[in-house]
Chain A
Amino acid sequence: MIDLVEVFERAETGPLTSETDYYMKRYVPKLAELITRHKIKWDNETIINADDDLTDRVFQAAVDLLAEAGAYCPETNRVMEFTREEILLACSQAPKGATFGERRERKTMYGRRPDTTDDRPWVHVGGGIYTTDEQIFVDTVEKMASFNIVDSVSVPSILHLRGKDARVRSPQEILSACKTVRLAREGIRRSGRAGMPIINGISAASQPASMFAATYPEFGLRPSDGFLIDFLSEMVVGYEALQKVAFYNSISANIGSTSTPLFGGYAGGAEGVAVTATCYMIMGNLIMRGSYHYNAPLHSKLHLSSTKPLIWAIAMSNAAIGRNMGYPMVNLPYLGGGSGTKQYHYEMACYMLAVVTSGGNVFSGHPAMAVQSDSLVPDDHKFHAEIGLAAAKLTRAQAEPLAQKLFPLFGDKLKDPDKGFTFQEVYDMKTKRIVNKDYQRAMDEVRDELAGMGLEVPVS
């Protein structure tokens, strides 16, 4: 694989072009051409594709997209170009596993192939964009980490300091980021699993300075945690991302390459999102030297990822990478329904059936309006991890009819989703036991309904 400094050099030496021209003369027409060239078509009905030939064509289109359109560096106004040989070599040398955590909690997340039914996928829970009140932050993290099926957590963001908002790029943001990781580690320690990894480092940091500051070992993060570096806009690799790449590679930390291709944006519809999401995973390995990928395609208007074409595209990108590259992946679902609602559980079950059978690991999801304070309810995440583990026993072909039964239960509600619960509404604040009967009933009923459909979800 070409070395990292050479990757950085490509941002200094590639062809000069404006961002608009990059999109309108390179990325957009090339993506359209590749979709035609490789005969990639969503049939408007399938949720979980099981056609391996189509899957492999999506992978080829993703390789071609990077080889023929390149990536864009806005700071230098240059296209970062890579040859097909460089890309394919990077794919062949991509990590097949990423090891996280310390001592007894030290484990490896593996890249999975579609239709693998005899393994136990990595189980990750939590979410980073929840803005949780710091009074319950530690309780929330402790509860998530205490679930015995969980291998790693994403921790919410604390965005307040002395009762005020921490503005992006401010010194307060640095303090918030440091406080977030310090309290998160404390919550994990209280769960009795001190070595458990946090793999969404660092949720409260938007700028490199905040990430690097909060990485200082005294605050409790370690290279064996996971640090997220994201592509900001379609195919854009900015200096801030490259600065993080330089730093986290220098300390040999686990890097989670992260991407959010937008359905309805430059990537277009289902086919474009499938190809672009796959391309991001290739770029995550080649450009960011990622250890694992955070795949988070999103609908540009609904701000969620549970529409039928999006679930198809997300599952397709997992299968394309799972069959051709083996890079470990988790998928971050944004769901319409609020925490604890039946809609939320149906969406998660449909999404989990699609991505886990297609090669993804298990990752619980966000409500789409996750910015609502204190909307991270840990027992949702436990239930969704249990659904993911149940889905891992199925092939894509077995999962498709279940997904088709689930979709009508929430599809019409995505534009006006059900409101959910907060942490305080669900739990007794002293014992942290569930006391909200409506919350418990919704979960129990969905578990029974899934069993009725043929998906037994045992309580862990």
Chain B
Amino acid sequence: MGDEGIFEQLKQSIVDQDEDAVLEAVNKALADGVDPKTIIDKGLLPGLNVIGEQFENEDIFLPELMQAAKAFQAAMAILEPKIKEAGGDGQKKGIIVLGTVKGDLHSIGKNILKLLFETSGFEVHDLGIDVDLFKFIDKAGEVNADIIAISALLTTTLIGQRDVIDALKDQGTREKYKVIVGGGATTEEWADTIGADGWAGTAYEAVNLANRLVS
């Protein structure tokens, strides 16, 4: 099998959400001497693009997205050390700290976003739900984040998004990070009001927004 054949096998195994097949293809490609970065760029990412389109078109849903992401992460666990050994930078587009604001216990939308960020090539630090505002800030500092992404579903928890931005201003670190907001109760107008760097109505839009902000 030539390189094109192995790339197609990598792509298809991601599209099939078949972790065993992904790992088999990755190991075969490495044994054939294919560069790990090329395995990602020409095999895994094209598969993830198909998965993303299928998710956007409602051909697949969250469970399938999670399976594909799990297969991708398993492949990256093999490939990343090899890239670093070779002196590479690990291929991350940017670093994102993600969570749902204090007082808000909703997780599904945030979990979808996490998967789409990860499968789009971002390093994601998911703080979960009901997140204290200073945890966002501390984590962003700790991992040298590019973006802080804050979700809020309830009207009564929206204020938590503003609090993070206000606290960043108070600490003099607002300009270090791009802050993006989203979630059921948010609007673009709200994002503008609190001085966020961007708002997204869907997880897919949030990925596009993050891509623009780090480019």
| Residue from the list B61, B103, B202 in contact with A265, Cβ < 8 A | B61
The residue of chain A having its C-beta at the shortest distance from the C-beta of B70 within the complex is A24
The answer to whether B156 and A32 touch across the interface, beta carbons within 8 angstroms, is no
Min CB distance B155 to A, Å, is: 5
* Smallest CB separation, A167 vs chain B (Å): 5
Contacts of B157 in A (CB 8 A): 167-168, 206
A157 CB within 8 Å of chain B = yes
Bound together, the chains give a CA A405 to CA B122 distance in angstroms of 45
**What is the bound-complex CA distance between A303 and B182, given in angstroms?**
13
Given contacts A165-B159, A233-B108, contact A264 B61 (CB under 8 A): yes
Contact check, B104 vs A168: say whether CB atoms are below 8 A apart: yes
B61–A167 CB distance below 8 A: no
A238 within 8 A of partner (CB): yes
Q: For residue B109, which residue of chain A has the nearest CB? A: A300
Q: Which of B58, B155, B185 has the most CB of A within 10 A?
A: B155
A203: shortest Cβ distance to chain B, in Å?
A: 11
How far does the Cβ of B85 sit from chain A's closest Cβ, in whole Å? 30
- Return B180 CB to nearest CB of chain A, in Å: 17
Contacts of B158 in A (CB 8 A): 165
Contact A131 B155 (CB under 8 A): yes
The 5 closest A-B pairs by CB, nearest first: A168-B103, A168-B156, A268-B61, A28-B63, A265-B108
**A206-B157, A233-B107, A272-B61 given. 12 additional CB < 8 A pairs?**
A24-B63, A159-B155, A166-B156, A167-B160, A168-B157, A204-B156, A232-B105, A268-B62, A300-B109, A300-B112, A301-B203, A369-B187
Q: How would residues 185 to 215 of chain B score, 1 for a CB under 8 Å from any chain A CB and 0 otherwise?
A: 1010000000000000011100000000000
Determine how close the nearest CB of chain A comes to the CB of B153; give it in whole angstroms.
10
**Residue A269 is within 8 A (CB to CB) of chain B in the complex:** yes
CB contacts (< 8 Å) of B61 on chain A: these are 263-265, 267-269, 272
Task: Please count how many residues in chain A sit with their CB below 8 Å of the partner chain's CB atoms.
Answer: 35
Instruction: Please indicate the chain B residues that have their CB under 8 angstroms from the CB of A157 in the complex.
Output: 155
Tally inter-chain residue pairs, CB-CB below 8 A. Answer: 74
Q: Which residues of B contact A131 (CB under 8 A)?
A: 155
In the complex, whether B154 has a CB less than 8 A from a CB of chain A is yes
Interface centre among B104, B156, B185 (most CB of A within 10 A): B156
Within 8 A of B (CB), among A116-169: 129, 131, 157, 159, 165-169
CB of A265 within 8 A of CB of B104, answer no
What is the 8 Å Cβ interface bit string for chain A, positions 253-265, against chain B (1 contact, 0 not)?
A: 0000000001111
Q: Does A266 lie within 8 Å of B155, measured CB to CB?
A: no
Instruction: Report if A262-B156 is in contact (Cβ < 8 Å); known contacts: A168-B103, A269-B58, A371-B185.
Output: no
A81 interface residue, CB < 8 Å from B? no
User: How long is the Cα–Cα vector from A401 to B122 in the complex, in angstroms?
Assistant: 47
The answer to whether B107 touches A165, judged by C-beta atoms less than 8 angstroms apart, is no
B88 within 8 A of A: no
Q: Is A234 an interface residue (CB 8 A)?
A: yes
Give Cα distance in the complex from A199 to B155, angstroms: 21
Query: Which of B63, B106, B185 is in CB contact (< 8 Å) with A266?
Result: B63
Task: Mark out the residues of chain B between 108 and 135 whose CB falls within 8 Å of any chain A CB in the assembled complex.
Answer: 108-109, 112
Q: Which of B109, B156, B203 contacts A173 (CB 8 A)?
A: B156
9 contacts between A and B (CB under 8 A): A131-B155, A159-B156, A168-B104, A169-B103, A238-B105, A265-B61, A268-B62, A300-B108, A301-B202
Please, which residues of chain B bring their CB within 8 A of the CB of A266? 62-63, 108
Residues of chain A lying within 8 A (CB to CB) of residue B159:
165, 167
A352 to B160, CA, bound (A): 37
* A264-B62 in contact given A168-B156, A301-B202 (Cβ < 8 Å): yes
Give the distance in Å from the alpha carbon of A148 to the alpha carbon of B112 in the complex. Answer: 45
Tell me the B154-176 residues at the A interface (CB within 8 Å). Answer: 154-160
CB < 8 Å: which of B103, B109, B202 contacts A206?
B103
Q: A167-B159, A301-B203 are in contact. Are A233 and B106 (CB under 8 A)?
A: yes
Residues from chain A with Cβ under 8 Å of B63 in the complex? 23-24, 28, 32, 266, 268
Q: Mark B56-83, 1 if CB is under 8 A from A, else 0.
A: 0010011100100000000000000000
